[in-house]
Structure 1
Amino acid sequence: MESTVVRPFVTSDLEGAAAALVAVHASDGYPVEGVADPEGWIQSANVLAAWVGELQGRIVGHVSVMRPQGEESAAMWMEQSGDDEKHVAVLARLFVVTEARKHALGQQLMQAALAWAREHDIRLVLDVLTKDAAAIRLYQRLGWTKIGEASHSFGDNQRADAICFVAPEA
């Protein structure tokens, strides 16, 4: 059995995480932005915590918990729940290379982020493009609840439909 590990992101992981991001973009078209500067996109100043997934010692996945930066899901959840920005964060930058998906690393990465959020009394939200059907199925299978729909803006005035989710309660 191939060995998988999910652990906190450290700066020395940046090159491997960026390479994994570029590979995921090539196979899936995710993300729709950030690929021109994958290291900058991964290591945003808005990251509160992040993890990587390894397979046989190679970084093959990543996830971040980030401060809200105007995401529709954060605004929707704060309006629906009454939570403030101190208690809401965004699950973001989740990706796993194709050959590592059979190891449930996406789920393991999400579980690490959820555990961190619960320890910090934070509710996670996310926006996912409707084109990313496998990701939507994963969120639903893990108990995330749809809270609305939005339009994601990126690039030169491009837009794509998105679904907003909130994490299950602790």
Structure 2
Amino acid sequence: MESATVIGTPPDRLLDGLAGHDFTAREIAARHALGLSEHDPAAPRPARATRPNRSEEAAMTRFTVRRRWSGDLAGCERALAAVHRADGYPVVWPEHPTDWLADSDQLAAWVAVAPDGTVVGHAALSSGSGSSAGAAWARRSGGAAEETGAVSRLFVDPGARGHRLGARLLDSVVQQARSWLLLPVLDVVTANTAAVRLYQQQGWERLLTEDQHWSNGMTVAVHCFALTAADDGR
């Protein structure tokens, strides 16, 4: 389905203002619906000369989750490299990591940011038509894989774990998918037990487990999950 039917079509002014950024048409329309300007939401602000008060200091100690913009990709790559060294995700390190992070079928993406502004996590919502889980759901329900939205590129830097950032990133993807009337689905390598545990704790239903034959010749076992219940464990 087209997101414009849900949240409206942005004016040409906004489309022009977002030229050169990695926003999709759905992201642009969503930004317009929320009343956001064409400027990147995370653009650097001038440094403050005054000492922050207590409430500001408390706010600065919090991790935040927000929409990704083009300037975040270098930080996302650094966090991904740390995850790859610690956990072996992704299984095969991409030749062009930033292209892999901003895959062409993405509908929206989010980052987790540390108090000092460092990107420490990432998640994306992609079309479910290209995922094994989307196909599995279509076979089971008799619907179409295009009615699903796939969670992808979800990871948290090992040094920033313990703050529920994985759950918060996942929740951001789920809420956006539902707002576009897409059923959340995902594929996860069976060896990634920490991710599997997170999905099960959040109420995801395992549809099946199957072997995927990757273009590099590898055969990898993956679980296919869908979030079919209204109550997702939050």
- For the criterion TM > 0.5, the same-fold answer is yes
Aligned counterpart in structure 1 of residue 203 of structure 2, from 143, 148, 152? 143
On the 8 A contact 1:144/1:166 being kept in 2, the answer is yes
> Aligned Cα RMSD in Å?
1.5
Aligned counterpart in structure 1 of residue 213 of structure 2, from 147, 153, 164? 153
Residue number in structure 2 paired with 1:42: 101
On the 8 A contact 1:63/1:113 being kept in 2, the answer is yes
Residue number in structure 2 paired with 1:66: 126
Structure 2: gaps spanning 5 or more residues: 1-57
Q: Which has the higher contact order (CA 8 A, sep 6+)?
A: 1
- What's the % identity of the aligned pairs? 35
Q: Does 2:121 align with 1:87?
A: no
Aligned counterpart in structure 2 of residue 15 of structure 1, from 50, 74, 82? 74
Q: Aligned letter for 2:85? A: A
On the 8 A contact 1:47/1:65 being kept in 2, the answer is yes
Q: Does 2:111 align with 1:52?
A: yes
Give the superposition deviation at 1:94.
0.2
Change (3 A) 1:74 1:135: same
On the 8 A contact 2:133/2:187 being kept in 1, the answer is yes
Q: Which has the larger radius of gyration?
A: 2
Aligned pair count reads 170
Secondary structure of the corresponding residue to residue 128 of structure 2: coil
Distance 2:65 2:167 in 1: 10
TM-score normalized by the length of structure 1:
0.94
4+ residue runs of structure 1 moved beyond 6 angstroms?
none
Q: Does 2:169 align with 1:106?
A: no
Distance 1:133 1:96 in 2: 14
TM-score normalized by the length of structure 2:
0.69
Q: Aligned letter for 2:63? A: T
Residue number in structure 1 paired with 2:86: 27
Give the superposition deviation at 1:158.
0.6
Structure 1: gaps spanning 5 or more residues: none
Change (3 A) 1:34 1:120: farther
Q: Which has the higher strand share?
A: 1
